[in-house]
Amino acid sequence: MEVLIGLAILPLALWGLKVALAIIIGLFLILVDTFRTTKTTSDHTDENDIMTSLPQGKSLFDQLNETTVKLFRDIAEAGNTSIGELSDTQISEIINEVITAFRNASESIDDHIQGGFLLTIAMHHVLTHATYGELFYYKHLDYEVNNYLANGLRDSYKKNLF
């Protein structure tokens, strides 16, 4: 855990807050992928499993999740947009669904979408859900993924959220 904290502090000292936040989000995404892979590829609980060996209370995953949700709320507020009616759990689920959908789509066409771009896409979809509701959000996500597969990534998504 100290190594992960050091990885976030070093860029903060060298390059500033934006890079440090981007690294924290990147670590969060890596943990999400690791957690999902561990849960789907293993039917047993290993005493040395990183997710079971974390101290009791808030896990690193929970802390990163809370930081990500707070960051998305702050960005929305700075842009005079409200996502206040969405719960933290909903925001986290939307972020994970969107990033997973676009990452899977990019892998299917042997492409790569930068992490900052994925966060921009996720923010767009969090706002879509908050503004138009769950049904429209799912239809829009499906449309956007299919549009990406057919036409490539939209220019409006080719922006780093940070």
Please state, in angstroms and rounded to a whole number, the distance separating the CA atoms of residues 119 and 50.
25
Tokens of 1: 């855990």
Run of H or E including 123: helix 115-132
The total number of structural domains that make up the chain: 1
pLDDT at 134: 95
Whether 59 is covered by a domain: the verdict is yes
pLDDT at 85: 85
Handedness of CA 136, 138, 98, 65 (dihedral sign): positive
Whether 81 is covered by a domain: the verdict is yes
- pLDDT digits over 134-145, tens only? 999 999 999 999
Helical pair 17-41 and 60-78, crossing angle rounded to 10 deg: 130
Using 50, 70 and 90 to split pLDDT, how confident is the model at 3? very low
Whether 106 is covered by a domain: the verdict is yes
Please state, in angstroms and rounded to a whole number, the distance separating the CA atoms of residues 5 and 20.
10
The reported pTM is 0.65
Whether 35 is covered by a domain: the verdict is yes
Residues of the domain holding 19? 2-157
Whether 162 is covered by a domain: the verdict is no
